[in-house]
Amino acid sequence: MTPRLWATALKSLVLLGVCAQAPAALADTYPSRSVRVVVPYPAGGGADAMARLAAERLQAHLKQPVLVDNKPGAGSVIGSDFVAKARPDGYTLLFNIPALVQAPLLQPSVPFDPVRDFVPITTFVSAPVWFSVNRTRLKATDFASFKDEAAKAQPKNRLEYGSWGPGTTNHLYGELLLKSLNLQAVHVAYKGSAPATLALASGETAFMLADYTTLRPHVEAGTVRILASTGVRRHRLTPDVPTLAELGYPGFESVGWAGFFAPKGTPNEVVAKLEAVIAEITREPQVIEKMATLGFEPGGKPQAEFAREVQGDVERWRRTIQAIGFKAD
């Protein structure tokens, strides 16, 4: 081999070595500046509370500022679209719930695809939602008496129920429940779980399905009563509250998730590092204890498993929407 060929071969080997080390180097240097976590809901709700808990611990692990940025509106579409269009470098992340996959099924104009435009990283928490009533508007003390009382309000004194936006989980569950009970009610959409729950507590709406984090203060204050929950088993925080499945209403067996997403194209090494760090955080005793007090179970699903779940949820919610003949407001 001539000296020139030896030099060319040596240069190629050096380049191959550099390329082989590049992914590891990228993971080692990330992050080198602050990370933004976009929450597409107002401050004060369950998703926001969990995102802030995650951000606090992420900051400790990553040794860089981790900032929560609330961008509410359009049933989480505004904040989610912001992240979908962000630079895919791991410095802008999305913290969202199944509304991410529901919105495009209901609004043809949604400018992103939940599977194509995002990389699911991992779950942070999972939880059912609880069916609750305003204690002034409805005197029901259990689900059976709610059904009777609501039936008597038909049709002249029609009741209102709240949600945190058109096409969100509690909106779809609300429609499914009304169909199951053969009842009618007026849907009132709010920009997030916090204002929707305040409307329930004040009596502006009569009932709602919501997360335990936002319901709990009002339950303890005596303005809201919980009558049922989703899922297949009673939650340890509300052992006296039956599940809707237990009461004989199908379609409410699943529980929701809240997790992290990155824009499509984010380097695999960065996604893997975030997955590992977030999973580690969900195993920390103080984090598990905090989650438990808010009604959540720890997440930390492997990235591939979470990606399959998100894709499966698209089909599951599509079937639910078709079953109830739902149309976006």
Q: State the Cα–Cα distance between residues 59 and 292, nearest whole angstrom.
A: 22
pLDDT average, residue stretch 228-232 = 93
Look at residue 274 and tell me if it is in a domain: yes
Q: How confident is the model at residue 257, as a pLDDT?
A: 94
Look at residue 175 and tell me if it is in a domain: yes
Q: Based on the domain organization, do 142 and 111 belong to the same domain?
A: no
Domain range for 193 is 130-229
Q: Based on the domain organization, do 156 and 301 belong to the same domain?
A: no
pLDDT per residue over 106-133, tens digit each?
A: 888 999 999 999 999 999 999 899 999 9
Q: Which two tokens stand for residue 117?
A: 């435009």
Q: Based on the domain organization, do 261 and 291 belong to the same domain?
A: yes
Q: Based on the domain organization, do 89 and 153 belong to the same domain?
A: no
Amino acid at 326: F
Q: Which two tokens stand for residue 263?
A: 């824009």
Q: Based on the domain organization, do 284 and 271 belong to the same domain?
A: yes
Peptide bond into 155 cis (omega under 30): yes
Q: Is the pLDDT of residue 247 over 90?
A: yes
What would you report as the CA-atom Rg of the chain, rounded to the nearest whole angstrom?
Answer: 23
What is the rounded average pLDDT for all residues in the chain? 89
pLDDT per residue over 264-306, tens digit each?
A: 999 999 999 999 999 999 999 999 999 988 888 899 999 999 9
Q: Based on the domain organization, do 75 and 215 belong to the same domain?
A: no
Look at residue 10 and tell me if it is in a domain: no
Q: Based on the domain organization, do 80 and 164 belong to the same domain?
A: no
Q: Based on the domain organization, do 76 and 94 belong to the same domain?
A: yes
Contacts of 247 (CB under 8 A, 6+ apart): 143, 228
CATH code (residue 118)? 3.40.190.150
Q: Based on the domain organization, do 172 and 105 belong to the same domain?
A: no
Question: DSSP secondary-structure letter at 116?
Answer: T
The CA-atom distances, in angstroms, between 204 and each of 161, 174, 195 are 9, 16, 11
Q: Based on the domain organization, do 73 and 162 belong to the same domain?
A: no
pLDDT band at 12 (very low <50, low <70, confident <90, very high): low
Other CB atoms within a 10 A radius of the CB of residue 97 amount to: 25
Q: Based on the domain organization, do 49 and 111 belong to the same domain?
A: yes
pLDDT per residue over 66-106, tens digit each?
A: 999 999 988 799 999 999 999 999 999 999 999 899 989 98
Look at residue 1 and tell me if it is in a domain: no
> What is the length of the chain?
329
303-324 helix and 99-106 helix, angle to the nearest 10 degrees: 40
Look at residue 12 and tell me if it is in a domain: no
DSSP letters, 128-143, are: --EEEEETTT---SSH
Look at residue 5 and tell me if it is in a domain: no
174, 195, 229: which is the final residue of a domain?
229
Q: Based on the domain organization, do 96 and 181 belong to the same domain?
A: no
- Closest-CA residue to 89 (of 278, 269, 303): 269
Phi-psi region of 322 (alpha: psi -120 to 50; beta: other; left: phi over 0): alpha
Look at residue 3 and tell me if it is in a domain: no
Please report which residue ranges of 246-329 form alpha helices under DSSP H: 268-282, 285-293, 303-324
Beta bridge partners of 298: 125
How many domains is the chain partitioned into structurally?
2
Q: How confident is the model at residue 21, as a pLDDT?
A: 52
- Dihedrals phi, psi of 224, to nearest 5 degrees: -130, 145
pTM comes to: 0.77
Look at residue 24 and tell me if it is in a domain: no
CATH code (residue 216)? 3.40.190.10
